[in-house]
Structure 1
Amino acid sequence: MPSRLPARVLADLLADDPGRPRLTWYDDGPGPTRGERIELSAKVVANWVAKAGNLLQDDLAAGPGTTVGLDLPAHWRAAYWAMATWEIGATVVVGSEARGADVLVTTDVDAAAAHDGDAVLVTSAALARSHPDAARAPKAVDEARELSTHGDRLVPVVDPEPADLALSVDGADTRYADVVRPEPDWGDAPRVALRTDLATALTGILSAWAAGGSVVLVHGADDAVDLPARLTSEAVTVDLTESGAESGT
């Protein structure tokens, strides 16, 4: 059977039910977005992916052979940057080597300013219109300001091949042929809860979506939150929130 690539996974979600929620985000961490809940349908995810992919491809000349470092927490914005990178056939780099990638996507102003190549400065807040400290990294793309100017339809210049490198995590490489990992124990159309590191979150999202399902992505820990009750209200069928320690802030 031919390998199923990330772009095909997203296309299948759009064909199945574009309006169904596929990614639900809860921020239980410290900071200005604490308490935020975001719900994205397949159509909304695809819109973000198209805009980010067009920025990468048209403005930063990214494509097969380009490494895109995601210096981000396991966040809903990280999900569409990863999918955009995979749509255009580039390589997502996560972990200790992310800041050495050709393109750096980061929430860290100092990292964006110091990066030798292209950098994208991300603001976590859902309704941000510009990064408050963007002037400190004048060569970086201010995502909150610039992303909305890009098109809602993405046409990759070159499609990835199954043997191309899709994901690199601290030197461990995964080909496009292997990055979508079936999880038969999850069943059909699973509702998967994740609270984990970015690499695990990205592969978990792909696995859930490939099974026609959806994800509840939780960041941080708030003692005031009854997490089991929340996951019950979200109709979660696979709870992986305790499967690994979360990294990033």
Structure 2
Amino acid sequence: MNAIRRTPADLLRSALATDPARPLVTFYDDATGERVELSVATFSNWVSKTANLLQGDLAAEPGDRLALLLPAHWQSAVWLLACSSVGVTVEIGGDPAAADLVVTGPGTLDAARACRGERVALALRPLGGRFPQPPEGFVDYAVEVPGQGDRFAPFAPVDPDAPALVVGGTELTAAEVVERAGADAGERGLTAGSRLLSGLPYDSWDGLSAGLFAPLGAEGSVVLCRHLPELSEDGLAKRVESERVTHRAV
């Protein structure tokens, strides 16, 4: 394995060096009509700001555990790469009471209050909008992240052999995430420039791989669709054509 591509954050840095202008994540919410397209450079900027928030304001350190209570969403993808940048272990749907930090959407605020550490809430509104009324006891991500630095440097090197992701009861190191993402990309036939449309949730490895890691590792991109069943067959066909989709995971 290439030493400079041993963590998910390494994959993003590689993509940024290769072609920063190409699309990386195109997000649709078919319940609201939202569409957001992020180039590699724009996505990387969000990751850097989020990693600075995580490491600086939230005082997260390598080895800390973060319970991620978010759906398949472009901001969820940002948090996954920000945690990789800092060395924080992400537990998908993890128990907030057992976590050092929790990141939650609006539908899981009550469960997230069990976390005794830092709590971050995302409104998941179009264009990354903030809560109309910030939830008590939580940092409003949309309020705090814009002012963070556009460049990120970890206080300590990230160990690719340290735990990075827990999903479906399986714990994976950063290097294992990269390895599995590469294998999945090969099985799906993804290559540089591939566009994978994924309607899978982020609650399993398959969903995380199709919705982020495999396209990133293959130097491709993802069309990430939330609430895809809301879309008609004709609407899906038009999206596949307009977004130049080459592969699907639905």
TM-score, normalised with respect to structure 1 = 0.88
User: Please, which of 88, 91, 107 is the counterpart of residue 93 of structure 1?
Assistant: 91
Aligned to 2:215: 208
Q: Does 1:192 align with 2:196?
A: yes
Where structure 1 has 5 or more consecutive residues not aligned to the other structure, the ranges are 242-249
Q: CA deviation at 1:168?
A: 0.4
User: Alignment partner of 1:149: what SS?
Assistant: coil
Q: CA deviation at 1:128?
A: 5.1
The count of aligned residue pairs is 235
Aligned to 1:240: 249
How many angstroms apart in 2 are the aligned matches of 1:147 and 1:106?
15
**Alignment check: 8 A CA contact 2:96 2:115 kept:** no
How many angstroms apart in 2 are the aligned matches of 1:169 and 1:126?
27
Aligned to 2:226: 219
Superposed CA offset, 1:169-202 (max 9, x none): 1431011111022121423122111111214333
Superposed CA offset, 1:122-172 (max 9, x none): 0111335531241x42x3111111111111111111122121001001431
How many angstroms apart in 1 are the aligned matches of 2:142 and 2:72?
18
Where structure 2 has 5 or more consecutive residues not aligned to the other structure, the ranges are none
Aligned to 1:10: 12
Aligned to 1:150: 148
User: Alignment partner of 1:119: what SS?
Assistant: strand
**Alignment check: 8 A CA contact 1:71 1:99 kept:** no
How many angstroms apart in 1 are the aligned matches of 2:121 and 2:93?
17
**Alignment check: 8 A CA contact 2:96 2:114 kept:** no
Q: CA deviation at 1:99?
A: 6.0
Q: 1:223 to 1:90 in 2, by over 3 A?
A: closer
Amino acid at match of 2:13: A
Aligned-residue Cα RMSD (Å) equals 1.8
Q: CA deviation at 1:112?
A: 4.1
- Identity between Structure 1 and Structure 2 (%): 39
User: Alignment partner of 1:148: what SS?
Assistant: coil
Q: Does 1:116 align with 2:113?
A: no
**Alignment check: 8 A CA contact 1:112 1:140 kept:** no
Q: CA deviation at 1:12?
A: 1.2
TM-score, normalised with respect to structure 2 = 0.87
Aligned to 1:169: 167
How many angstroms apart in 2 are the aligned matches of 1:27 and 1:129?
14
Q: 1:41 to 1:98 in 2, by over 3 A?
A: farther
Aligned to 2:52: 54
How many angstroms apart in 1 are the aligned matches of 2:121 and 2:9?
24
Q: 1:230 to 1:54 in 2, by over 3 A?
A: same
**Alignment check: 8 A CA contact 2:27 2:224 kept:** yes
User: Alignment partner of 2:126: what SS?
Assistant: coil
**Alignment check: 8 A CA contact 1:69 1:99 kept:** no
